Chain A
Amino acid sequence: MSPAELTHVPGFKTREVGSGGLLHFRPEERRKTSSLRLTWVADLGPHNARRCLVPACLMRGTREFPSQRLLNLRTEELWGLSASTSVDRWGQRHLITLRAEFPDEGHLPQGEKVFDDAIHLLDQLIHEPHLVNDLFPEEIVESEILQQRRSIEGRIDNKSGWAYQRCLEEACFDEPWRYHQQGSLEDLKHVTPEDLTALWKELVTHQPLHVHFSGNMAEDRVVDRLSTLFRGNHSSEESLSPRQAIRAAKEPREMVEHAKVQQSNLIMSFRTMISYEHPLNEPLMVANGILGSFPHSRLFTQVREKESLCYSIHSQVDSNMGMMFISSGVDHDTVDQARAGIDKQLEFVRNGEFSEEEFEMTLAAIDSRLRMVQDSPAALADYDLRSRLSGRKPGLEILRKRVASVTRDEIVAAMELVHPDLTYVLAPEESS
């Protein structure tokens, strides 16, 4: 056993708080700040856009600090406490997250405190927002609708992200993960302060809540103070829809759309029929590593370096959806050449032609990536939550062992299940 393997980094210790809330605590002495993450879990669907408005309205002020400016003055006073919200998706779930990070008191000048004030502010943000006549103020709601509309319209600014989403929407046109986490412009029509206030109450009372804390602080003090964040939450498993079954590929399809761009964004989607619980999940992870997720991977060394066809190229697997994607930015004139190059590499891995060295390098690279997660409380919390939502055990050690025991035959078996679905190209207008 190498020395690094002997180092023990504590994982999260989980306890149920109230009815259905889960508090995940881990001591962290290596860093200078404490980090806290609150995530409400809901279903993706046609109303994602209006749900995104809830965290946005919460960040506009509390009863005590009833404007964003007053709130920002307060966070600066609390040693630059950073509080931010994000909206994400994982499989068929919509994740509404509030993150906060603030200095550990040991690093502050003698006698300065921040922990209790920080938790109080976060509690106020979610339970005592700035309301007028018990409703989110109309001008704030209108302003946030406008900002949300602009965010949705601004998605085209990220061309590869746009191409990926378009591919997903077309490939999975009736599956729940097709919905973008920011939702649609359509959903933003006719949203009232009443709707949003009701949605906020529903979120904090009915949706499952996970709170992850990492910091240099006594566990009982953390548990005591953080329990307040769960007040009013009565969520249960029934708050979420049952897990969606994954689907096999049908006939491969192709689609080209045009935009004012300099290069084409090629997204190839595949169905794998492999979920996180499937015995071939880890072999598929390794296959994906050999194919396209590291600098030593086939797509990078062959299609980019040998053939000079692109700068960005990578593959990724999502076992919530049972899918694999290969993305690349290429000159439009060489899209066909790039596709042929990618197909050749897929075939290469499927035939088990990869060298023993490529196989070993991939195992080492995945293991190293998993261990590196342990240096980042944010990445650890993310891994913990996503594992729970996908129905796999959250311990990193379990996954590391499974990856280490993957065989070449299993990789070939996993790749045999990978079948092409939609190939999507976002091409320059001049090429239409």
Chain B
Amino acid sequence: MSWSEDSTILENSTLQERVVERVHSSGARVAFCHKPGYLRTYACFATNFGSVDDRFRIGGGDEIVLPDGVAHFLEHKMFEGIEEDAFQEFSRLGASANAFTGFNGTSYLFSCTDHFYECLSHLVRFVQSPHFTEENVEKEKGIIGQEIRMYEDMPGWRVYFNLLEGMYAHHPVSKDIAGTVETISGIDAPLLQRCWESFYHPSNMILFAVGDQSEEEFFDHADRLLQEKDLGPAPALEKIATVEEVAPAQTQVRQEMQVGRSKLLFGWKDIHPGLSGQDMVRKELVSDLVLECVFGQSGALFEKLQEANLVDDSFGGGYMIYGDVGHSAIGGDVVDPEKVLEVIRAELPQILSSGISEADIDRQRKAATGQLLKSFNSLENIAGSYCSSRFMGADPFEVVDLLNKIQPSEVADRLHDHVRPENLVSSIISPAQG
């Protein structure tokens, strides 16, 4: 056995969920959630390396600055094998595999109804066996180039990244996860290899499975797998944060596209270096509650906008934290974005002065509890929530208890701290003329 610490049990009585977690001698955090009766088992092997990790150094060496889109490019290339791509073996096993790159992490995953341990072995082995050649890296640029073009034609994607571009002057969160055709042109095999060595060491990774499997067998198997390859001691990885200004970079970003309806997103950014763990979860939770009370579809503001036929059911928003920064994004499909912003600007002083009632908070607490129960039906959500919580040093289940602990004064403070009319940033996609 090669478990360096005793098991940690994470559980919650409302959700009736339990995760067993161990730290492997290789450095990997390994965890399992038992879901009786499910036919499908879902597993992921995730690294804490996403699109925002664009500057780092190893062992006090020189700073390395990465071009935009490297984490995503690396994700594509990890599937490349010497004989065949990694999908083939999953297909032989009847499993369905995929991967995705986010701001804070990259996750390789599969789900299957049979041959779980063969799939798990294949997952760990392919993510630990990179095969980058100049030829296969060049070839990938054509495929990713088409992926980038596809996103350029998606107005919902554009309106969001334009909003981030308006909010952030320097922070990499505003950069498109896939980069641009220009930034990926400079990526080569040695750069990918260097990123893999720096960020794909087990000490920077989580192996997680959820389904109706035996806990003991899972840990035994994971232990053997993680011992197969000796990747040496963990590199002394130091991520370098980008200092972001408090004031928004721009107040508005506009773009024309061939769309039937205009799209509007607006919001505010927060800079909070050093925030982590439970404080981060709490901030996200309270912010979401504030946004739901002010801009949600049961609020007076939405009713006013809807009665004026300015918005429809697509209107809504949420709050997202990505390490040292966080932001809200609210909006939807609208006909007259400027008019919507005008109404919001006119209503905000009144909303800020009257605040949020305790009845509203209690009702949103109930609604959020119901939504959480629903989200824990999904194996994907359980895995996603576990990995992102652990990467930020939090417990994925404490959200339920925190929800019940939110104080009205905390909600009032958050409202005034976040919703600052003078710092509002908006992004508009409008129909192309001509």
Contacts and interface: CB of A to CB of B under 8 A. Distances in A.
Contacts of B112: 368
B371 A263 contact: no
Contacts of B156: 157
Interface stretch (B25-33, B60-68, B146-154): B146-154
Given A153-B261, A156-B259, A261-B153, 19 more contacts: A9-B39, A31-B377, A67-B303, A69-B299, A75-B367, A76-B366, A155-B260, A157-B261, A262-B152, A263-B149, A295-B96, A304-B143, A305-B85, A357-B92, A361-B88, A368-B94, A368-B114, A372-B96, A374-B39
Which 9 interchain pairs have the tightest Cβ spacing? A80-B370, A364-B94, A153-B260, A80-B367, A308-B142, A296-B91, A79-B370, A72-B298, A260-B258
B91 A372 contact: no
Contacts of B149: 262-263, 311, 329, 331
Interface in B257-309: 257-261, 296-300, 302-303, 306-307, 309
B232 interface: no
B39 A4 contact: yes
Q: Among the interface residues B111, B139, B373, which one has the most CB atoms of the partner chain A within 10 A?
A: B373
B335 A311 contact: no
Contacts of B96: 294-295, 365, 368-369, 372
A32 interface: yes
A388 B239 CA distance: 56
22 contacts: A2-B114, A4-B114, A31-B377, A32-B373, A33-B377, A77-B366, A82-B370, A147-B309, A154-B333, A155-B260, A260-B432, A294-B91, A295-B90, A295-B91, A309-B146, A311-B149, A329-B150, A330-B146, A365-B91, A368-B94, A368-B96, A372-B40
Contacts of B371: 80, 82
Contacts of A364: 91-94
B182 to A, nearest CB: 14
A33 B303 contact: no
A101 B374 contact: yes
What is the size category of the interface that chain A forms with chain B?
A: 35 or more
A223 to B, nearest CB: 23
Interface string B114-125: 100000000000
A283 interface: no
A159 to B, nearest CB: 5
A81 interface: yes
Interface string A371-390: 11011000000000000000
Interface string A138-159: 0100010011001011111101
A156 B258 contact: yes
B198 interface: no
B45 interface: no
A37 to B, nearest CB: 15
A68 B306 contact: yes
B95 A32 contact: no
Given A80-B367, A263-B150, A107 B373 contact: yes
Nearest to B178: A311
A322 interface: no
Given A4-B114, A260-B258, A30 B367 contact: no
Contacts of B299: 69
A259 B144 contact: no
Interface residues of B, number: 72
B368 interface: yes
Contact of A154 (B150, B260, B374, B432): B260
Contacts of B229: none
A208 interface: no
B302 to A, nearest CB: 7
A275 to B, nearest CB: 28
Contacts of A81: 370
B223 interface: no
A295 B87 contact: yes
Nearest to A59: B313
B364 interface: yes
Interface in B38-67: 38-40
Contacts of A365: 91, 94, 96
B97 interface: yes
A404 to B, nearest CB: 12
Contact of B374 (A30, A59, A82): A82
Given A150-B261, A312-B150, A368-B94, A7 B37 contact: yes
B390 interface: no
B298 A69 contact: yes
A174 B269 CA distance: 53
Nearest to A263: B149
Nearest to A158: B154
A195 interface: no
A155 B155 CA distance: 12
Contact of A375 (B38, B150, B313, B364): B38
Contact of B376 (A32, A80, A260, A360): A32
Interface in A208-266: 259-263
A391 B367 CA distance: 40
B114 A73 contact: no
Contacts of B150: 262-263, 311-312, 329
A135 interface: no
Contacts of B297: 68-69, 72
A177 interface: no
A102 interface: yes
